Structure 1
């Protein structure tokens, strides 16, 4: 009897060890899915604390991990697309990446630090489009900086965060994303303050073009991309703002998107469509104005006139009887 008890005690001990080990594995996996906070290496101690507080506030006390972004990450992720950082370059802009499973797409929010938006160059829409091209899907990304800065460090942090979790993004797509963001930032700056232009329109046109390209597939030709861009520029009422040089730049970055292999991702089209919906929702006042009769494109006005003519003609003939 004593031997039987000892035998069962041993079995229970083995099962206890197994479940404890299995539980520890599950805990590690869960931790890997925790949001990641990327912190610029140049932040002072107080700035670091303030940045963590600002970025993690949306988590409402949930767990998160941290990673420090240095000049090394800037060189690795940003220099291949033409930037000239070095390993001693300062990094202040920071980010928090929270994966979602609700199919909401890529959401980006730039958070003010001490009441001021210190991201001076990159817009939320530009971050979204770059993240899409880089291969990111269904994630909330929060960005802030303790000092005025362009915001490149935050995006490098996003790329590094995925690599840290064992989900390194395709470097060709990252390069294409950086080229895209730099180009769109330049075009946005060139057209800033012009009547009939907004960053939302430009980025919606690019997101719409990506969705159309994805419908065709990764064999979409250069001429098809050019046609798609021309159509999206018209749809977003940018025909009188975007000049031919800027239009060619946009075509070139989308050719790079195709060549990077981004279109091979089965989720790309869906994410691009969601991005367009988000951009419109966040700038509803702008897009509502674009949909007024005064701002419809010329072809639409002609079509409306034709339809109205025949409707009136039918009504006139009906009145004769």
Structure 2
């Protein structure tokens, strides 16, 4: 929140709790009516540009029933600079906020955008995939904004929440996670409205690329060359039905991201590998039935063409 208001938001729970009587009846995925004694209080990170009234609205959007049951932080421009490698980010322009809570092993990174109409650029699976790159493990992440924003600052809120709970946040990885987010979103946005494209299929492909890079390094004792990166990425795109959709320029951007990714500690992390396996299942469930049917029909066409060519070959033998 604006600097003059930060103290009020963090230090006057009574004032904020007065607005909670208007909270929606539906419960947030992260429960705040009682304190989870295993994982402690969830961490709420407000966008620094929020007014007090907007902060109260954010509490409502997250379905917070008792404000004292959450730990509160504020993400500022200096946090953006620290975690994303930016310079001079303005606190006053940050509105997207996050509620984060640790979960049992095997949960994976699960993102729920509470205000989908107000987060205009980033999807739930894009948030989750990038958060895994940065080091998030087994957490629920709720995202909300009281006004329309791109939502790019929400990941910084996640990092600040993790750090506030004693977790080491590697800024080299958070910067690459931001590069990933921007690259994937740029590709997805370029194909908006294309019936041959599915954003979740791309998210799944990016997770598989990261897994393949880790497997490559483990098998070869070194990271992949640019030539091998191109092969890996094109193979993964083909396996997800995207080989004739993603352009050569977009593949080049994915290669640039992959180069940066395999130079981080994420590539050697068993935790990242486990989180990616969970994520790929989540992304698969998000792929539209129309896209899956399109891929199935494409496979049938390929099989049909194979047998047609085989039959023509056999006829030629006996002609």
- Tell me the TM-score normalised to structure 1 length: 0.77
**Structure 2 partner of 1:69:** 75
Q: Does 1:220 align with 2:223?
A: yes
Provide the aligned C-alpha RMSD in A. Answer: 3.0
Partner Cα distance (2:209, 2:304) in 1: 23
Partner Cα distance (1:188, 1:106) in 2: 21
Partner Cα distance (1:61, 1:125) in 2: 28
**Structure 2 partner of 1:93:** 96
Post-superposition Cα deviations, 1:179-227, rounded to whole Å, max 9, x if no partner, equal: 1111111111111112301211211110111122222336231333322
Post-superposition Cα deviations, 1:24-71, rounded to whole Å, max 9, x if no partner, equal: xxxxx95974211111122122211121122245x9999321111122
Q: Does 1:42 align with 2:49?
A: yes
**Structure 2 partner of 1:12:** none
**Structure 2 partner of 1:134:** 134
Equivalent residue runs for 1:101-140 within 5 Å: 101-112=104-115, 117-140=117-140
Report if the CA contact (8 A) 1:209-1:232 is conserved: yes
In structure 2, the gaps of 5 or more residues are: 1-35, 312-319
Distance verdict in 2 for CA 1:65–1:264, change over 3 Å: same
**Structure 1 partner of 2:31:** none
**Structure 1 partner of 2:251:** 247
Partner Cα distance (1:109, 1:205) in 2: 21
Partner Cα distance (2:257, 2:301) in 1: 28
Larger Rg: 1
Deviates more, 1:175-184 or 1:214-223: 214-223
- Tell me the TM-score normalised to structure 2 length: 0.77
Aligned partner of residue 167 in structure 1, secondary structure: coil
Equivalent residue runs for 1:117-196 within 5 Å: 117-196=117-196
Partner Cα distance (1:151, 1:171) in 2: 20
**Structure 1 partner of 2:238:** 234
Partner Cα distance (2:209, 2:290) in 1: 19
Deviation, structure 1 residue 102:
4.4
Post-superposition Cα deviations, 1:212-256, rounded to whole Å, max 9, x if no partner, equal: 222233623133332221111111111221110100111111121
Post-superposition Cα deviations, 1:273-295, rounded to whole Å, max 9, x if no partner, equal: 211110111235245324422x2
**Structure 1 partner of 2:316:** none
Aligned partner of residue 267 in structure 1, secondary structure: helix
Deviation, structure 1 residue 297:
8.6
In structure 1, the gaps of 5 or more residues are: 1-28, 310-321
Report if the CA contact (8 A) 2:120-2:149 is conserved: yes
Report if the CA contact (8 A) 1:43-1:92 is conserved: yes
Distance verdict in 2 for CA 1:68–1:233, change over 3 Å: same
Deviates more, 1:296-305 or 1:122-131: 296-305
Partner Cα distance (2:235, 2:177) in 1: 22
Distance verdict in 2 for CA 1:200–1:297, change over 3 Å: farther
Partner Cα distance (2:109, 2:155) in 1: 14
Length, aligned pairs only: 276
Higher helix share: 1
Partner Cα distance (2:303, 2:53) in 1: 56
